[in-house]
Structure 1
Amino acid sequence: MMAARFVLLIRTAGILAVGGIGGSLAHWIGLPMPYLTGSLAFVAAFTIFRTRKGAREVPFPPLLRMTFVAVIGTMIGATFTTDLLAVVPSLGLSMMAMVLFVVIALAGNYALFRKLGRYDRTTAFFAAMPGGLVEAVSLGEQAGGDVRVLSVQHFARIVLVVMIVPLLFLLWTGETVGSASGQSFEQDAYRTVDIFLILVLAAAGMVLGPRLRLPAAHMVGPLVLSAVAHVSGLVDLSSPAWLLNLAQLVVGSGLGSTFAGSTGRQLIRAFSLGAASTVLMLALGIGFAMTLAEFMLVPVDALFISFAPGGVTEMGLIALSLGVSPVVVACHHLFRIFMTVLVAGAIARRTRRQASAVQGGSGDSIDR
């Protein structure tokens, strides 16, 4: 028993080492969310190579990944401050439009992945989510979707959006934006107690989330608990960058380890579908931005950044480069993620109830 645990520990350390190399290289190149995307890509490639050579699949401890998913949820919740909430009333129209954007993007992507990708219903639905990679994969995994497909689809979305949006602004304005322009977010100095409180909120959220039957409970539980604690003024945390990087490294490595048995053809198809999905959502975002700009005092470029389905950090950096309030952009993106999880979670629960009813009546699942 002890020997088996020691072997698992060594193998897990090896996976994290590969992920660390990938994350460091991605950081050096300047990729979006480098420690998540880099570790995912490197560990996925390593896992595929090993299994093709006949080696056994190396399992990644699910509790370890879920723990750091909870840490990420806590740190996202920490961004819900009173300053952020103060701007919400002035953005009521665009927030309502964001709900419509999420529903249309979800429906369009779902049709794309079902008709062209021929994914099963569950995988197609969660691959279609215009939300965060971690949130979508967590929800999809909980519902029985293909984690490998979900990981690569959302990986493709994030990378393509963050590559295309700065290019569009370069062609439009002739200036580089985002990380390429050297912009970065300054972080307040954190205290040791901040790390302790992040871990406490994460642990408490992991316990409360499942009991409250929240979707993606290990992610959403800590997120909601942290958001409530910050908005109410109970805590005011400064999240250390290294902890976020570590959490992304662990989660990315865990997702990459699920790629055992994947083929090059499957990955090429997933990236092709991801490109089509990205173009669809960006076109939708441009349409919403141009329409809303006619009725709001917010510039069209700020609205487009707010509706682009990329990472919160990179979209915020682009806003910073253009002189647009990163708080406004972050508010939209956090609301998009929240609405995506809310809508997807509600539909997933309804689908599971229908599937149970069908199975009880005829033995057939609607997810096939």
Structure 2
Amino acid sequence: MKTVFTSMRLWWATPVVGIAGALIASSLNWPLPWIIGSMLAVILVRCLGWRVGEIPYGRLTGQWMIATSIGLHFTPVVLEQIVGHFAMMLFAAFLTLCLALLGIEFMRHRGMDLTTAFFAFMPANFSEMIQLGIRHKANVSQIAAAHSVRLVLIVLCVPPAMFFTARISPTAVHARLPSDWYWLLPLLIGGALTAMIWKRCKLPNPWMFGPMALCALFTASFNLQTALPVQLSHYGQLMIGCALGGYFDRQFFRASPTFLLKVSLFTLAMIGCTLVLALGIGYWLGFPVMTLALGMMPGSSTEMYLTAEALNLGVGIVTAMQIMRLVVVMLCAEPVHKAWLKHLRR
């Protein structure tokens, strides 16, 4: 009991700070206020010296909610679109990988260790890149810092830019499907069980990909027309926003300001180049540019999905492109790294 009380004392204020930030962001008409507002609020109070702690299982349950919501978009019609655009999506994933490799080569010429730069700037999941960095004896703290900054910068820059470009108010409400608890309750429970099995099998990002896969399977099989209640979506965004904010404090920014500046410039350059590539491919193939840009963006599938949903874009296509990029990067990362090292030794 004493341990529980001590643990709660470290994190009880985190959701309070996050909710306050989300409500302020909502009142200011910011896009995705429940994730951006909560994240900025937690970063602010931690930088001011109040080290609010991580909410136990907060990020996992947040991913569980958002993954369920994503999976419910994979109707038979959406799956047909994904199959029809498979070649384009694969091409876009390899383009994003090539863009990252060019950036890594640039950073290497600026004096950065190849292995650390490689796993720090690969557009893939945070945890998997850290594990690969540990295996290849890279600077793990720099890898963690780079991915933290990348995720936060993309969350801060991409959704506002998309809303501004689309000229849509962040407070605009799109029609939502009703929440059918006859399906939702078993899918939520089944999603949690799938995530546990996924984790036991040591598959990547279990609390995101496990529930998403289960919900997508049932949605496509039974053509479900239901959606997660907006309150649960807000909860998921709040937990993810608080988790992202928890990576930062004054010590983080003081540790290596030059490195963090390099990471920030690299990320902003990646965002700009991705938009240019999406513009070119979109006009070449006659594909919606904003959907393509969100699908190619080297961020987290969660935030890109939420932006696509808020803008009423092709959510299924955006999510499928994000997943394809992650798969391509995870399959190619180690072989490319090994070949690159061998080339340098020659």
TM-score under structure 1 normalisation? 0.73
1:47 is matched with 46
Q: Does 1:35 align with 2:25?
A: no
Aligned residues: 325
1:151 is matched with 148
Whole-Å separation in 1 of the counterparts to 2:108 and 2:25:
32
Deviates more, 1:102-111 or 1:202-211: 102-111
Post-superposition shift, 1:350?
6.4
Aligned partner letter, 2:94 = L
1:283 is matched with 273
1:338 is matched with 323
Post-superposition shift, 1:272?
6.2
Whole-Å separation in 2 of the counterparts to 1:224 and 1:110:
32
Deviates more, 1:186-195 or 1:300-309: 300-309
Post-superposition shift, 1:38?
2.0
Change (3 A) 1:272 1:17: farther
Post-superposition shift, 1:84?
0.6
Contact 1:123 1:149 in 2 (8 A): no
Post-superposition shift, 1:344?
3.4
- 1:205-216 correspondence runs (5 A): 205-216=194-205
Whole-Å separation in 2 of the counterparts to 1:117 and 1:190:
54
Post-superposition shift, 1:246?
0.7
2:100 is matched with 106
Change (3 A) 1:120 1:226: farther
Aligned partner letter, 2:210 = G
- 1:196-211 correspondence runs (5 A): 196-211=185-200
Q: Does 1:231 align with 2:207?
A: no
Whole-Å separation in 2 of the counterparts to 1:75 and 1:244:
8
Contact 1:214 1:221 in 2 (8 A): no
Percent of residue pairs bearing the same amino acid type: 18
2:244 is matched with 255
Aligned partner letter, 1:81 = T
Aligned partner letter, 2:267 = S
Whole-Å separation in 1 of the counterparts to 2:169 and 2:265:
22
Aligned partner letter, 2:323 = F
The secondary structure found in structure 2 opposite 1:87 is helix
Change (3 A) 1:262 1:111: same
Q: 4+ residue stretches of structure 1 with deviation over 6 A?
A: 349-352
Contact 2:179 2:229 in 1 (8 A): yes
Deviates more, 1:200-209 or 1:254-263: 254-263
Change (3 A) 1:28 1:111: farther
Quick one: which of 57, 60, 73 aligns to 1:63? 57
Whole-Å separation in 1 of the counterparts to 2:3 and 2:114:
36
Q: Does 1:163 align with 2:160?
A: yes
Change (3 A) 1:281 1:263: closer
Contact 2:93 2:321 in 1 (8 A): yes
1:293 is matched with 283
1:137 is matched with 126
CA deviation vs aligned residue, 1:27-59 (integer Å, no higher than 9, x gap): 3333333222222222122223326xxxxx554
Post-superposition shift, 1:333?
1.6
Q: Gapped runs of 5+ residues in structure 2? A: 135-139, 339-346
Whole-Å separation in 2 of the counterparts to 1:119 and 1:217:
31
Post-superposition shift, 1:233?
2.0
Quick one: which of 179, 192, 195 aligns to 2:169? 179
